[in-house]
Structure 1
Amino acid sequence: MAGEDGMQLAYYIVLLVVIGGAMLFELSGRGGQALRQLVLWVVIFAGAIFAADLWLDGGGPRQQVMQGGRIEIPVGRDGHFHLTAELNGVDVRFIVDTGASTIALGPEDARRIGIEPDDLAYVGRAMTANGEVQTAPVTIDEFAIGDIVDRNVRAWVIGGDLDGSLLGMSYLRTFARVSFENDLLILER
């Protein structure tokens, strides 16, 4: 993630240079009206890209995995705690849900980690905010958050329209400490 953060920082620096240059150009009074309008449209376009990036990415701080098995997860704009874990080598973003009893994978996330939802036996049922859904038990070979790696983790694939995945109590109980400190969720092994 450090490389990704560096690229994002470089992007914002370039964006700042473009916007700052456009403002200096406009204030200097040089250039024809057509050129000024072109620069204005470039600034508008760059601002729209910046806003879309913030909107799609969440725009806020991300989880931090500290030494010693400590994970700090800041609250998102939507009021939920979002945790990204690597399942079978693929990044999956979860909503941490203390009201969920287990790990619940949405069909798309299941596919991404190598589990085909159409081939599963949906033998269970679960109550969700949207009503009752069918569930299929699965085992995730590797569940990693930074240096914390768990193997053969039990989960359920939801047979419905679950967008994303939920990280429930069955996994949260593997931590020695789960606490809330202001706008942070702290997990410690």
Structure 2
Amino acid sequence: MRLFILIILIVFSSCKRPNRGNSPKPSYSTQQENVSNTRARKITGSEIKMIYENGVYKIPTEVNGISMKFIFDTGASTISISETEALYLYKQGAINEEDILGSVYFQDATGNISEGTEINLKSVKIGSYTMTNVKASVVHNLQAPLLLGQSALSRFGKVTIDYDKSIIRFE
């Protein structure tokens, strides 16, 4: 199974597609807007209940219409998903080969440099706000956690965490 996943990601990441711009077009919702390099719209009062699991806080998030729980990680540069989630999104039709942008290198929390695959997520919904065309990294590890990093978080102007109530607020 792992070999199959690696083959899919390697084949997709090695595909060369001419005339590919830096910002892919949104493809499936008229409510979405391209905020590729801008801050998120003001969403005053948007509160999301965080879920405390296994020593970390997770935020309910929808990626391309699929519900997932991401660890809120201000130290991660991008949204990060494992091969397992990437394959699941692929099987659900939530990502396709046009969303595969190529290879990317990243440094993990231990300082090791690893190769992954950069993908485009057409939509990332947190609470009442949907961001479009968010870059993410697929970590070539079946058990890597889902991390909500700066490629999404930097689009919000102010983020407040209330640990007593387990709420994250975007202002």
TM-score class, shorter-chain normalisation, is 0.5 to 0.7
What is the aligned counterpart of 1:127 among 94, 103, 107?
107
Q: Does 1:81 align with 2:57?
A: yes
- CA–CA distance in structure 1, aligned partners of residues 132 and 101 of structure 2: 22
Residues 42-81 of structure 1: pairs in structure 2 closer than 5 A: 68=44, 70-74=46-50, 76-81=52-57
The change in CA–CA distance for 1:91 and 1:182 in structure 2 (over 3 A counts) is closer
| Structure-2-length-normalised TM-score | 0.59
Q: Which runs of 5+ in 1 are unaligned?
A: 1-66
Aligned to 2:85: 109
**1:81-115 alpha-carbon deviations (Å, 9 max, x no partner):** 10121111111221111111111111111122224
Aligned to 2:36: none
Quick check: which one's strand share is greater?
2
Q: Which moved more, 1:106-115 or 1:94-103?
A: 106-115
- CA–CA distance in structure 2, aligned partners of residues 90 and 79 of structure 1: 24
Q: Which moved more, 1:119-128 or 1:169-178?
A: 119-128
Q: Which runs of 5+ in 2 are unaligned?
A: 1-42
SS of the residue aligned with 1:100? Answer: coil
Instruction: Tell me how large the CA RMSD over aligned residues is.
Output: 2.7
CA radius of gyration, larger in: 1
Report if the CA contact (8 A) 1:143-1:153 is conserved. Answer: yes
- CA–CA distance in structure 2, aligned partners of residues 179 and 164 of structure 1: 23
| Counterpart residue identity of residue 159, structure 1 | H
SS of the residue aligned with 2:133? Answer: strand
Quick check: which one's helix share is greater?
1
- The Cα shift of 1:68 comes to 4.5
Percent identity between matched residues is: 27
Aligned to 1:186: 168
- The Cα shift of 1:186 comes to 2.0
Residues 165-184 of structure 1: pairs in structure 2 closer than 5 A: 165-183=146-164, 184=166
Report if the CA contact (8 A) 1:122-1:159 is conserved. Answer: no
**Greater RCO between the two (CA within 8 Å, min separation 6)?**
2
| Structure-1-length-normalised TM-score | 0.54
- The Cα shift of 1:146 comes to 3.5
Aligned residues: 122
- CA–CA distance in structure 2, aligned partners of residues 152 and 120 of structure 1: 12
SS of the residue aligned with 1:123? Answer: strand
- CA–CA distance in structure 2, aligned partners of residues 71 and 148 of structure 1: 11
| Counterpart residue identity of residue 149, structure 1 | T
